[in-house]
Amino acid sequence: MNSRYARCLGREVHFMDWGDPANPEVVVAWHGLARTGRDMDELAAHLAPQFRVICPDTIGRGLSQWSPQPRDEYCLDFYAELATALLDQLGVDQAHWVGTSMGGAIGLVAAAGPLQGRIRRLVLNDVGPELAEPALARIRAYAGQPPAFATLTELEAYFRQIYAPYGWMSDTQWRRLTETSARRLPDGRVTPHYDPAMVEQFTHHPDDYRRWAEWDRLSLPVLALRGVDSDLLTPEVFEAMRVRGPRAVGVVIEGCGHAPALNTPEQLGLIERFLLAH
């Protein structure tokens, strides 16, 4: 894997580049709201023998630039345009897309808009064209005011608590999640590595995650995953995704809520088989 940077729409975007950069078979793996592209390490490592896997940090997260115009740029439409600019810059004409939560919503918007016809297969990890409002309120509450801690160990304990719904993760994976999701404040404390202003998306773009119109325009193969205990993707919306629009293949992931970590052999194999299907 290589750590790389690209300038897209005037913003510097960081991404991890896995596999053979000359491989025309490409997967874009995009993380969730308050996360980074390193969440996709297990998936990327699993797919890298057969695909080039590109795992970006959304602007305002990880090592990508924070937006100087948060009101306008922290929204799904701008993220989809950024993704398009990134693929154009990398010379990638077509790609599969695997997205967790917000990353899946970006893929949905892109596949129905600027990347229509260029996204070949879409995997949505615990996200759909409509999200449960109580879960959005929960996410806004913890993401908008990230806590700070004196030590990385305390930050890891915090992550283990709020991300318990991810399901099973090894101690090594929890440690890596923490170390790749931390930034140090001027006072020396550590806090999650994202711009707190990114939650302004929910204030200035209140309907950003209502995307049935885009869903109904999709005509590509879609695999929809739902954590059995998810409070974000309701069973009713999940079922609707299976019978309208692209009629997604739906799979419920046991032992998880929002959102499955995509790190177990079962989850990785499921995605691999879907991407390799013809």
What average pLDDT does range 140-154 have in this prediction?
90
Collapse the DSSP code of 115 into the 3-class scheme (helix H, G, I; strand E, B; otherwise coil) and give the result.
coil
Q: Do residues 23 and 52 lie in contact, with contact meaning Cβ atoms separated by under 8 Å?
A: yes
What is the per-residue pLDDT across 81-131, written as a single tens digit (0 to 9) for each? 999 999 999 999 999 999 999 999 999 999 999 999 999 999 999 999 999
pLDDT at 122: 98
DSSP code for 33: T
Q: What is the pTM of this model?
A: 0.97
Q: Using an 8 Å Cβ cutoff, are 184 and 148 in contact?
A: no
Distance CA 130, CA 215 (A): 10
Average pLDDT, the chain: 96
pLDDT, one tens digit per residue, over 7-66 is 999 999 999 999 999 999 999 999 999 999 999 999 999 999 999 999 999 999 999 999
Mean local confidence (pLDDT), 194-211: 94
Does the pLDDT of residue 145 top 90, yes or no? no
Per-residue pLDDT, 144: 81
Burial letters 115-138, b for 16+ CB under 10 A, else e: beebbbbbbbbbbbbbbbeebbee
Q: What integer pLDDT is reported at residue 137 of this predicted model?
A: 84
- Give the orientation angle of helix 76-90 with respect to helix 102-112, to 10 degrees: 70
H helices present in 56-188, as ranges: 70-73, 76-90, 102-112, 133-143, 152-162, 171-179
Helix (H, G, I), strand (E, B) or coil at 74: coil
Characterize the bridge pairing of strands 190-192 and 52-56. Answer: unpaired
At 215 the pLDDT is 98
Beta bridge partners of 18: 53
Q: Measure the CA–CA gap between 107 and 115, rounded to whole angstroms.
A: 9
